[in-house]
Amino acid sequence: MFSLKNKKAVVTGGGSGIGRAIATILAKQDAEVHIIELGVAQAKDTLDEIKAAGKQAFSYACDVSDHNAVKAVFEQIGNINILVNNAGIAHIGKADTTDESDFDRVMRVNVKGIYNCLHAAIPQIRLAGGGVIINMASIAALVGLPDRFAYSTAKGAVKAMTMSVAKDYIGENIRCNSISPARVHTPFVDGFLQKNYPDNIPEMFDKLSKTQPIGRMARPEEIGALALYLCSDEAAFITGCDYPIDGGFTTLNN
Ligand SMILES: NC(=O)c1ccc[n+]([C@@H]2O[C@H](COP(=O)([O-])OP(=O)(O)OC[C@H]3O[C@@H](n4cnc5c(N)ncnc54)[C@H](O)[C@@H]3O)[C@@H](O)[C@H]2O)c1
């Protein structure tokens, strides 16, 4: 079960956190993994880990928000079977405290970045005879979170894009689903705490952990395992769905 032998997978933002866990588990299951990353050093760390396990991986320095650069990278990679749109950035603010430049930046990376990759990858997936797309959404797409105006807007779009793509390509053997994690302990969370709560990191870490009814944050590997399932042929009947993986956040926080 869950073999990805002879599959070629692209993971965006595969140099860190959730993307790294996904790239690593897909490679472990024998997919040939291609990482699209802004951070060259992070991408190399993931490649080293995958290669040390005797598996195949490649990386490309690329900003997912750059339409032409993304197109060029996908042309270089060629036909693919799996696309994981994981790269994303965070932002804190309400509608009246979010600057136009910050709003645009979050939309550029978290929404246009996914459009860019879909636009470039779908023809390559079609040439491969079909495949699977996973988009990284968030619980911010499902419930109202405080101070996450731009981020929630973007993740809501990711969830809607997922349904649109699932509908448009269902006849071409392309499945598309999204994953909506609550807090996952990654450099994304550490950076958030460092930037916004530099004076009380341990207290805030504990507070953020307890917002999940299960009492902790997720581990990136737990998101990786769900992504592997959705990418595998075992999930062949699943398309157009969003998968919360949230320690009870969206259903038990009452
Ligand atoms: N960590 C969480 O609690 C959490 C919860 C829900 C959803 N998510 C989502 O999961 C995804 C991954 O989050 P993470 O916590 O692993 O983040 P992370 O910051 O640890 O890793 C994100 C990676 O994406 C790369 N990246 C950022 N912008 C890019 C761009 N423009 N082009 C190419 N690469 C780029 C970064 O270099 C980094 O390596 C994001 O979409 C995030 O919104 C995270």
Q: What is the CATH number of the domain that holds 238?
A: 3.40.50.720
Q: Is residue 197 part of a domain?
A: no
Catalytic annotation, pick one of 60, 151, 169, 243: 151
Percent of the chain exceeding pLDDT 90 equals: 96
Q: Is residue 122 part of a domain?
A: yes
The pLDDT, as a whole number, for residue 192 is 84
- Give the distance from CA 110 to its chain's centroid: 10
Ligand 1, residues 71, 186, 207: which to mutate, most atoms within 8 A of Cβ? 186
Q: At what angle do helices 187-196 and 201-210 cross, to 10 degrees?
A: 130
Task: Compute the distance between CA of residue 230 and CA of residue 179 in angstroms, rounded to an integer.
Answer: 9
Give the DSSP H or E segment for 77.
helix 67-77
Q: Is residue 160 part of a domain?
A: yes
- Decide: residue 93, CB within 10 A, 0-12 exposed, 13-18 middle, 19+ buried: middle
Query: Is pLDDT of 136 > 80?
Result: yes
Whether the model clears a pTM of 0.95, i.e. scores above it, the answer is: yes
- The boundaries of the domain holding residue 235 are 8-183+219-252
pLDDT for 66-121, tens place per residue?
999 999 999 999 999 999 999 999 999 999 999 999 999 999 999 999 999 999 99
Q: Which residues contact 148 (CB under 8 A, 6 or more apart)?
A: 91, 92, 93, 140
Q: Is residue 140 part of a domain?
A: yes
The pLDDT, as a whole number, for residue 254 is 73
Q: Is residue 131 part of a domain?
A: yes
Extended strands (E) in 38-182: 57-61, 82-85, 131-136, 174-181
Angle, CA 114 vertex, CA 150 and CA 133 arms, to 5°: 125
14 CB near ligand 1 (under 6 Å):
no
Q: For all residues of the chain together, what is the average pLDDT?
A: 97
Q: Is residue 3 part of a domain?
A: no
Q: How confident is the model at residue 253 (pLDDT cuts 50, 70, 90)?
A: confident
Residue 60: HSE in the Cβ half-sphere, 13 Å Cα cutoff: 19
181 CB near ligand 1 (under 6 Å):
yes
Nearest atom in ligand 1 to the alpha carbon of residue 218 is 3
Q: Which residues contact 228 (CB under 8 A, 6 or more apart)?
A: 2, 4, 22, 25, 26, 29
Q: How many domains does the chain have?
A: 1
- For 33-54, the DSSP string reads EEEEES-HHHHHHHHHHHHHTT
Q: Is residue 143 part of a domain?
A: yes
Q: Is residue 192 part of a domain?
A: no
